[in-house]
Amino acid sequence: MKKGIILAGGKGTRLYPLTYATNKHLLPVANKPMIYYPLNTLINAGINDILIIIGGPHAGDFIGTLRNGEDFDEVKIHYAYQKEEGGIAQALSLAESFANNENIAVILGDNCTDADIRKDVESFTEGAMVFLKEVPDPQRFGVPIMEGNKITSIEEKPKEPKSNFAVTGLYLYDNTVFDKIRQISPSARGELEITDVNNLYIQEGTLGWSTLDGYWSDSGTFVSLLKTNIYWGEKEGLI
DSSP string, 87-139: -HHHHHHTTHHHHTTS-EEEEETT-EE----HHHHHH--SSEEEEEEE-S-GG
Residue 150: Cβ within 10 Å count: 13
For residue 1, CA distances in Å to 5, 118, 184 come to 12, 10, 26
What is the distance in angstroms between the CA of the first residue and the CA of the last residue of the chain?
A: 37
Q: Determine the average pLDDT of the residues in 3-32.
A: 93
Asked whether the CA dihedral 93, 94, 99, 103 is positive or negative, the reply is negative
Give the pLDDT confidence score for residue 113 in this predicted structure. Answer: 97
Give the pLDDT confidence score for residue 78 in this predicted structure. Answer: 94
Q: Determine the average pLDDT of the residues in 67-88.
A: 87
Map out the domains of the chain with their CATH numbers. 3-235 (3.90.550.10)
Q: Is the pLDDT of residue 189 over 80?
A: yes
Q: Is the pLDDT of residue 10 over 90?
A: no
Question: Chain-centre distance of CA 203, in angstroms?
Answer: 22
Q: Is the pLDDT of residue 11 over 80?
A: no
Enter the pTM of the model: 0.95
Determine contact, residues 182/197, Cβ cutoff 8 Å. Answer: no
